[in-house]
Amino acid sequence: MGEDITFLDPRRGPSGESHEPDNASARKRQAHELVQPFLEHVVIPNSEIFAALVTAGEAFVAVSLLLGAATRLGAAVSMWLALNYSLLYGQSFLIPSGNTIYFWVGFLFLVMAAGRAFGVDYWLHRRWPSVPLW
């Protein structure tokens, strides 16, 4: 199917030099086997499109969660991004890491409708109570 897509440890310098002992810097992160074909055949050939999509998704999540506007949708998008980042780095959801923590925090925001306390969602929910986004 081709070469495995690997990502060097971020603690290595731009020219590949290590800032840590040799055994720690030699570690590589490998994308999960379920997403490798998708990365090879779809994402990498269309990297500019996916870069714009990820940037737009992260900007939407940031604005949504900061303002408390459409918080549930922002939380769902943040969960989707965290899940994709975990698969990209080959991380397990059984071992706590930054991405799994972001996933579960997004889940709490989604379930608890966090924007209704101090956000724009409070006013939107009062005006349109039947809309599930707020």
Residue by residue, DSSP assigns 49-93 as HHHHHHHHHHHHHHHHHHHTSSHHHHHHHHHHHHHHHHHHTT--T
CB under 8 Å to 83, separation ≥6 — which residues? 99, 103
Ordered per-residue pLDDT tens for the chain, 134 residues: 555 555 555 555 555 555 555 444 334 567 778 888 888 899 889 999 999 999 999 999 999 999 999 899 999 999 999 998 888 888 877 778 888 899 999 999 999 888 888 889 888 888 988 887 77
Task: Check residue 27 and give its pLDDT.
Answer: 45
30 dihedral zone (left: phi>0; alpha: psi -120 to 50; beta)? beta
What is the C-alpha separation between 36 and 88, in angstroms, rounded? Answer: 8
List the domain boundaries for the chain: 1-30, 31-127
